[in-house]
């Protein structure tokens, strides 16, 4: 029985083995994944991101339980932690907070090391998520590396992105900086029993208001007018700002409500299909550029590249000039 | 990309001292391995489930409570039942000498007591996984 057949028969060890092969970028793994691909596109993917220590894993633990209870559907969790840039090793500790999920065969947790990728996910996270989707998990919760201001890769992978904040993480100017907050479909202030929670909520809410939550258009008399709310495609999603105490299970019901609402919103506005197309075309572009680079390096005499690099080191040619001449030589 | 060793470090049972387990996890990390650390007070069932979902290459158990003769064989039973009988299990902690041959007989690959260097532990994990993960 092939690995693919075993996975489709519900063999969880076979699925785990496939995920390892995908992580190691083995040809056998990608072949099996291609076999699963026609079955993908069913799951709703929820990204959970935020700074280290804001309570992402604890929240994921609660969300998985609540989604499981309310929708009965199977839930997979992909939790990414950083690899050491020096040794390549990693401590994957997200399961520590997910002990309540043991013993339910409808929940599958997989830890991943980032293996040098920036952006909060590993290079193969999207493929691992596809495999879980194809294996029949309806909800996939993707927890990023503890993220700063620029790790917005998750917004491309997930349908619904939760950004987790905790009280005391910065003033209202932090809240209007570009980056991770723009990626949010739902904002969660966790540890809301700590002082400063209401301030954090206010800062986030006022930042959302600055972002013109009500979409406006110029009408043909030159005035700025609010868009008619009945124009379905133009109804904007306003990220709710919710308070939770994940360790105590407070506010979780409301977060799951927000996820379900956002899923309905995406389905009714065509946003889901658009996000899927964006994600898949990005994936194809990324693979294409990886492969083209690899082919170029394979086919090109490494001496040429070495000589070109020496020119750059000696400041005789800029990196851009060297790339131009390498490509010109190939044509 | 080269295959990375994935190691589960777990503390079965009820004792509350995980400094040893953390030292080992850190040493394996520094040796370039990916360590899934599950924290304190794990049941054998939780350990086996984590080993399956994470498809680990080896398991390190730390037991200081004296309950190793109950906990360790139970982990082996569960691993065998789920098709992971070939995954090496290494044990560290306070293990009386008379229990060591029994545990080795049961399948424990290596047993470490107080005073073991982290280099020795890293070497033992490398050796235990040298023949590669069990094939599917």
| CATH code of the domain containing B26 | 3.40.50.280
Please choose, from the candidates A9, A12, A97, the residue with its C-alpha nearest in 3D space to the C-alpha of residue A55.
Answer: A97
Is position B136 within any domain?
Answer: no
Q: Decide if B10 contacts B61 (C-beta within 8 A).
A: yes
Domains, chain A, ranges and CATH?
A: 1-39 (no CATH), 41-271 (3.40.50.300), 300-330 (no CATH)
Q: What is the CA radius of gyration of chain B?
A: 14
Is position B105 within any domain?
Answer: yes
pLDDT greater than 70 at residue A151: no
Interchain pair B25, A91: CB under 8 A: yes
Is position B15 within any domain?
Answer: yes
Longest dimension (CA), chain A: 69
Q: What angle do CA A47, A52, A55 make, to 5 degrees?
A: 65
Chain A residues with CB under 8 Å of B80 CB are: none
Q: How far is A83 from chain B (nearest CA, A)?
A: 8
- pLDDT tens-digit readout, A70-95: 999 999 999 999 999 899 999 999 99
Q: How far is A41 from chain B (nearest CA, A)?
A: 22
Is position B31 within any domain?
Answer: yes
* Number of domains into which chain B is organized: 1
Q: Decide if B71 contacts B37 (C-beta within 8 A).
A: no
Q: Which residue has the higher pLDDT, A244 or A226?
A: A244
Is position B1 within any domain?
Answer: no
Is position B37 within any domain?
Answer: yes
pLDDT greater than 60 at residue A222: no
pLDDT greater than 60 at residue A128: yes
Range of the domain at B117: 6-128
What confidence tier does A9 reach under pLDDT thresholds 50, 70, 90? Answer: very high
Q: Which residues of chain B have pLDDT under 50?
A: 133-136
Bridge partner list, B21: none
- Spell A95-110 as b/e; 16+ CB within 10 A means b: bbbbbebbeeeebbbb
Distance CA A266, CA A311 (A): 51
Q: Which pTM was predicted?
A: 0.88
- pLDDT tens-digit readout, A14-54: 999 999 999 999 999 999 999 999 999 999 999 999 888 89
Chain B residues with CB under 8 Å of A23 CB are: 4
Q: How far is CA A29 from the centre of its chain?
A: 21
Chain B residues with CB under 8 Å of A13 CB are: 52, 55, 82-84
Is position B43 within any domain?
Answer: yes
Is position B107 within any domain?
Answer: yes
Interchain pair B1, A115: CB under 8 A: yes
Distance CA A266, CA A41 (A): 14
């Amino acid at each position: 029985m092939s690995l693919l057949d075993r996975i489709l028969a519900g063999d969880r060890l076979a699925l785990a083995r496939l995920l390892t092969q995908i992580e190691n970028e083995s040809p056998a793994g990608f072949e099996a994944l291609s076999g699963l691909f026609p079955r993908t596109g069913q799951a709703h993917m929820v990204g959970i991101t935020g700074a280290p220590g804001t309570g992402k894993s604890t929240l994921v633990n609660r969300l998985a339980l609540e989604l499981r209870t309310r929708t009965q559907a199977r839930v997979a969790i992909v939790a990414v932690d950083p690899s050491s840039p020096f040794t390549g090793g990693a401590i994957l500790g997200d399961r520590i907070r997910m002990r309540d999920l043991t013993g339910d065969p409808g929940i599958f947790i997989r830890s991943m090391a980032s293996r040098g990728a920036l952006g909060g996910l590993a290079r193969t996270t999207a493929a691992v998520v596809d495999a879980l989707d194809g294996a029949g998990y309806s909800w996939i919760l993707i927890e990023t590396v503890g993220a700063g201001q620029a790790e917005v890769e998750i917004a491309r992978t997930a349908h619904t992105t939760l950004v987790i904040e905790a009280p005391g993480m910065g003033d209202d100017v932090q809240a209007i900086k570009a980056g991770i907050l723009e990626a949010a479909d739902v904002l969660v202030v966790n540890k809301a029993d700590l002082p400063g929670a209401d301030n954090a909520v206010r800062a986030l809410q006022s930042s959302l208001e600055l972002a013109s939550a009500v979409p406006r258009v110029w009408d043909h008399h030159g005035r700025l007018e609010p868009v008619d709310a009945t124009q379905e495609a133009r109804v904007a999603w306003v990220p709710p700002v919710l308070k939770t105490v994940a360790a105590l299970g407070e506010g979780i019901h409301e977060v799951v409500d927000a996820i379900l609402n956002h899923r309905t919103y995406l389905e009714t506005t065509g946003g889901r299909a658009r996000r899927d197309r964006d994600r898949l075309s990005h994936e194809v572009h990324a693979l294409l550029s990886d492969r083209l680079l690899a082919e170029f390096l394979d086919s090109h005499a490494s001496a040429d590249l070495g000589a070109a690099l020496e020119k750059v080191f000696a400041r005789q040619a800029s990196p851009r000039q060297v790339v131009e001449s390498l490509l010109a030589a190939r044509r | 990309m080269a295959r990375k060793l994935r190691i589960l470090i777990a503390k079965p049972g009820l004792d509350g001292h995980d400094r040893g387990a953390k030292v080992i996890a850190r040493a394996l990390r520094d040796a370039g391995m990916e360590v899934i650390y599950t924290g304190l007070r794990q049941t054998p069932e939780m350990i086996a489930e984590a080993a399956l979902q994470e498809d680990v290459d080896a398991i390190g158990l730390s037991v200081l409570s004296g309950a190793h003769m109950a906990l360790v064989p139970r982990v082996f039973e569960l691993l065998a039942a789920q098709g992971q009988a070939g995954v090496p299990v290494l044990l560290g902690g306070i293990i009386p000498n008379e229990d060591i041959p029994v545990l080795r007989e049961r399948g424990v690959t290596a047993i470490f007591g107080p005073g073991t260097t982290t280099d020795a532990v890293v070497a033992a994990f490398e050796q235990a996984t040298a023949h590669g993960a069990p094939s599917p």
